[in-house]
């Protein structure tokens, strides 16, 4: 830990040093890594003005670097729906340093408890879907993002839960995670240009209010895919495939907004996932 005199000297350099000196000091602090964060956060208490801004930048860069590493490791070992959920909280930290997924995990627990109360013993598959839709769509207001569809928040699970609007895949993911907690195996199906949920062979559409997809409608959807690829269409997405599609959606959001910095970040994650 730094002494009081060392703290004052460091703050002085970050406060009044020339640009080259400030960059050198910041670089050395960043090299200290995540283990030194408590010291830097303590240092914020005695800093002000430019020194405080520079320290905050150091802290943000260290947290971003750790988050990048955590996500890369998480992508490399992604196998289960539970791990996919954890990665969604990690992704939120790239946008909001210090983000904690705990409150949102508890929100999903509460939603599962609320939906579970509606499902009677011996309920049919259609009745289970109806209960999930009644609770998540009608009572909690989860619906498709019809305005500003390509806003990045529609691709981040916590903000979909917060604003109650999302993309087809993020809304389907919520149904899957609530189902996971209720031992109801909701699956994700990558339809052409859309994303659907499925339970025991029955397809439904969380983006459009959870409506059931009829056999005739599914035939029409499937007709957009070459005959020799239709067997792939009916397979449930794996967690890796869902993450890949989530990242592609997020990338499209950033492309639409001409945000090259965030697009490059997503490109890095796609590369890690495809190794």
Q: Provide DSSP, 88-99.
A: HHHHHHHHSTT-
Average pLDDT over residues 138-152: 94
The yes-or-no verdict on residue 60 having pLDDT over 80 is no
pLDDT of residue 216: 93
Cβ-contact 141, 76 below 8 angstroms? no
What are the CB-based long-range contacts (under 8 Å, 24+) for 131-134? 132/175, 132/178, 132/179, 132/184, 132/186, 132/210, 133/204, 133/206, 133/209, 133/210
**Which residue intervals of 17-156 are DSSP H helices?**
19-31, 37-43, 49-76, 81-95, 102-118, 125-133
- Report the 10 Å Cβ neighbour count for 145: 21
Q: Flag whether the pTM goes above 0.85.
A: no
Distances (CA, A) of 145 to 15, 111, 264: 45, 20, 25
Q: Which two tokens stand for residue 11?
A: 């703050």
The mean pLDDT value for 19-48 works out to 82
Mean pLDDT calculated for residue range 76-92: 94
Distance CA 222, CA 17 (A): 64
What span, in angstroms and rounded, lies between the C-alpha atoms of 164 and 206? Answer: 12
Per-residue pLDDT tens over the stretch 103-122: 999 999 999 999 999 999 99
202 C-beta neighbours (distance < 10 Å), count: 14
CB of 123 closer than 8 Å to CB of 199:
no
Q: How confident is the model at residue 70 (pLDDT cuts 50, 70, 90)?
A: confident
Residue in 157, 117, 109 with CA at minimum distance from that of residue 134: 117
């Amino acid at each position: 830990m730094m002494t009081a005199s060392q703290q004052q000297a460091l703050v002085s350099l970050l406060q009044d040093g020339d640009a080259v000196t400030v960059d050198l000091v910041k670089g050395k602090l960043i090299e200290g890594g995540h283990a030194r964060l408590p010291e830097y956060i303590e240092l914020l208490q005695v800093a002000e003005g430019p020194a405080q801004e520079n320290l905050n930048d150091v802290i943000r860069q260290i947290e971003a670097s750790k988050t990048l590493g955590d996500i890369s490791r998480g992508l490399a070992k992604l196998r289960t729906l539970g791990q996919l959920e954890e990665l969604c909280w990690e992704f939120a930290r790239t946008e909001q340093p210090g983000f904690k997924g705990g409150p949102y995990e508890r929100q999903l627990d509460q939603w599962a408890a609320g939906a579970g109360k509606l499902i009677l013993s011996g309920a049919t598959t259609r009745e289970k879907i109806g209960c999930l839709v009644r609770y998540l769509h009608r009572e909690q207001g989860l619906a498709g993002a019809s305005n500003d569809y390509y806003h990045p928040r529609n691709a981040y699970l916590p903000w979909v839960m917060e604003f109650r609007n999302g993309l087809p895949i993020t809304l389907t993911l919520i149904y899957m995670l609530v189902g996971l907690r209720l031992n109801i195996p909701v699956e994700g199906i990558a339809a052409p240009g859309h994303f659907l949920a499925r339970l025991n062979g029955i397809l439904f559409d969380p983006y459009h209010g959870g409506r059931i997809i009829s056999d005739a409608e599914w035939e029409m959807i499937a007709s957009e895919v070459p005959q020799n690829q239709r067997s792939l269409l009916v397979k449930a997405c794996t967690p890796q495939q869902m993450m890949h599609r989530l990242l592609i959606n997020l990338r499209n959001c950033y492309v639409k907004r001409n945000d090259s910095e965030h697009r490059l970040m997503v490109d890095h994650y796609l590369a890690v996932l495809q190794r």
